[in-house]
Amino acid sequence: MHAAKHSRESAAKGDDQIAFENGTSCLEVGRYQSALEWYAEVKPTGGGWDRRASTDRVSLLVALNRAKEAVAVGMQAISRMQQPSAGLISEVARAWNVHHGSAESLTLCRHWLRHSAVCHNASLWLTTAAYASQCHQFARSLRYLVQHLELCGGAFIDDLFLDRDFAPLWHHLEHEALSAAEVAALRLPQWLVHLEALAKVREQLSFESCMHVPPTLRAILRLNLRRMTWQPHSRATPSQIAAFASWCDAVRLQSCESLAAGLRKALAVQPATSADCV
């Protein structure tokens, strides 16, 4: 194991905070295997340090193209915790998505949204909505997005218009017929209340979303392993950074316009009368 930034008398004696901090130090300088080893030394008690170390282990394994191992580590961590964090659940769902597709990810997230420990976490509702979009369960995705809007209360930190996982939903809303359930979800007032604020959010590109970046722009990006987001690396030229920013703005604008088109379609539908329901 690589020499630690924070020393201790014995690895066997254990100090979960020290092990976590050593893992983080190794992660920050690119010593990824050493980081994994330190995180693995945090005792599997189900406590706070275990949650934090397990979350970082899972995300790092995914970034290292070891998604199958990430699933195993993450599911073991969740099984020993009475209250897994929303962050851990989201990272394990990401591992499932990379390893086996979005259906398992959606099942995992939906299961935990029924638990009081995490059901008030806005980001987990957004994550679940994204997997529902990938599974073409559009009415469910819209309902989950509404719950996300409610929980955020206007203070949005996630750039859903730049998120590739929502591309199937935006395409559906603009180009395909809407079901009655989708119309009902789109007619909820939260959309009109929060749409302007949503359109102003500018966040970094999520881990999965890099795959729809043009190859010439993808080449200038680096992965922030702490946040699992992509951003231009320090060697990128000003013109490259500007080109990437322009591409992001274009994607956001198109996604926002697709949602707006879906909202217009839904609001144009005449509500069913009592006679229609007979």
Instruction: Give the whole-angstrom CA distance, residue 244 versus residue 110.
Output: 34
Task: Give the residues of the chain that fall short of pLDDT 70.
Answer: 1-14, 271-278
Question: What is the pLDDT at residue 271?
Answer: 65
**221-224 sheet: strands from edge to edge:** 205-206, 229-232, 221-224
Burial of residue 160 (CB within 10 Å: 0-12, 13-18, 19+) is buried
Tokens of residue 6, six digits: 């924070």
pTM for this model (two decimals)? 0.89
Question: What pLDDT does residue 94 have?
Answer: 97
In which residue are the tokens 């231009």 written?
Answer: 232
Q: What pLDDT score was predicted for residue 275?
A: 41
